[in-house]
Structure 1
Amino acid sequence: MKIHSFQHYSHDLGLAVHDAWITTKVKSALTLAEPTRRLNIHVKTHAGMVALSGRVNTHKQCEQAIGLARAVHGVTDIDASDLQTYMVSPGSFPEAPNAEESAEDLSRSSAKMDDK
C-alpha cells in the first residue's frame, strides 16, 4: 500500500514539475518574441494543456501568442478562450479595462450637469 501511495505521489510531483517547466518555457517565448514582448499574458499549465489569459491589442497578436505557446515542446493543447482582444469602434475612444464608469454613465452625468 505504501509503495502505491509513493508511486502516485511521485507521478503527481513529476507532472507538476513538468507543467511548471512548460509554463516557464511559454512565458519565456512570449517575453522574448517581439509581437508579444510588452503584453501582459498570463500562462497556466495543467497536464500539458496551456491556458492563456489577459488582453492583447490585435487578433494577430492573439494568434501569435497561441503559435508561440504551441511551439513549446510538451504542450498538448492550448486554451485561449480567456485571451481577450481590445475592441475599439472607429471614432470611439478606448477605455481602460477597469474603468468604473462607462461612457453612457459619463454622458448621463454630464447631461444632468447641463440641466442644472
Structure 2
Amino acid sequence: MKHLNVRNLLFAAALLPACAPVAVAATSDPRAQESGHDKVASTHSEQPGSDTWITTKVKADLLATKDVPGMELKVETVNGVVSLSGNVGTQAEADRAVAVARKIEGVSRVDSSGIVVGHAAHGR
C-alpha cells in the first residue's frame, strides 16, 4: 500500500507541470475580462493551483485503482468540483471512479454526468 501511494505521488508530480499552463490560461483569458461575462467566465476557477492539484491527484488515483479504466476517463476541476467524463464498461466502474474522486482532499463535489456506461473501455 505504501508503494502505491509513493507511485501515485510521483505520477502526480510528473503531471503537474503539464497541467499548470492550462490553469494559467484559464485565469488569464482577456476575452473573459473584457466582456465581464461569457462562457469562459463560467469555467473560471478562483483557485487554479488547488484545482490543478486536485485534477492531477484524481487522475493518478484513477490510474492506480484496480477495475477503473483510468486511461478512458477525463478529469476536470473548477473550484473544487470534479467533472468526470469518458467511457466505462459498467456502472460499478463509474461508481468506483466517483468514490475515488470524492476521497481526494479539496473535492467539494463530483459530477459524473459525462461518464457513459456500457461502452467497453479500450486498452485494458
TM range (shorter): 0.5 to 0.7
Contact persistence 1:23–1:43 (CA under 8 A): yes
Structure 1 runs (4+) greater than 6 angstroms displaced: none
Aligned-pair distance for 1:86?
A: 1.4
Contact persistence 1:19–1:48 (CA under 8 A): yes
TM-score by length of 1: 0.61
Residues paired across the two proteins, number:
79
Contact persistence 2:54–2:77 (CA under 8 A): yes
Aligned twin of 1:35:
67
Q: Considering only aligned residues, what root-mean-square deviation do their CA atoms show, in Å?
A: 2.5
Give the counterpart letter for 2:94 in structure 1.
C
- Helix, strand or coil for the counterpart of 2:47? helix
Aligned twin of 1:59:
91
Aligned twin of 1:113:
none
Show structure 2 runs of 5+ residues with no match: 1-27, 29-43
Show structure 1 runs of 5+ residues with no match: 1-8, 88-93, 95-116
Aligned twin of 1:25:
57
Question: Quick check: which has more Rg, 1 or 2?
Answer: 1
TM-score by length of 2: 0.57
Does residue 79 in structure 1 map to residue 111 in structure 2? yes
